[in-house]
Amino acid sequence: GESVGLHLPTLSVQEGDNSIINCAYSNSASDYFIWYKQESGKGPQFIIDIRSNMDKRQGQRVTVLLNKTVKHLSLQIAATQPGDSAVYFCAEKVTGFQKLVFGTGTRLLVSP
């Protein structure tokens, strides 16, 4: 159930599965990338970030991979739990600017 694209696709997984959420970013001048989780009615919650001089970074149950050659970012969630159900956004920051440019997100649905 892997999804691609930036038009709010939905990824449905079973509890305990690993999830992979993909994002294609637009600007080769971007030097900083963040994944946010947004639950219904709440603000975006920081998950993990990565700078352009890295290609992988790991957190607790999450891993972000960056492929600058094809301008692709992915978020891997290990042992997905029902509490992981939310919309996930990637965001990029271009060198010299402070604003974040967000993708349209991926909805993750985790079934017990």
Partner 1 sequence: NAGVMQNPRHLVRRRGQEARLRCSPMKGHSHVYWYRQLPEEGLKFMVYLQKENIIDESGMPKERFSAEFPKEGPSILRIQQVVRGDSAAYFCASSIRQGEGQETQYFGPGTRLLVL
Residue 17 or 68: which CB sits closer to partner 1?
68
Residue 17 or 31: which CB sits closer to partner 1?
31
Binding site for partner 1 (CB under 8 A): 6, 8, 32, 34, 36, 42-46, 49, 51, 89, 91, 93, 97-105
Residue 7 or 79: which CB sits closer to partner 1?
7
CB of 32 to partner 1, least distance (A): 7
**Can you tell me the distance from the alpha carbon of 33 to that of 100, in angstroms, rounded to the nearest whole number?**
9
**Can you tell me the distance from the alpha carbon of 57 to that of 59, in angstroms, rounded to the nearest whole number?**
7
96: tokens are: 């010299």
Neighbours of 15 (CB within 10 A): 13
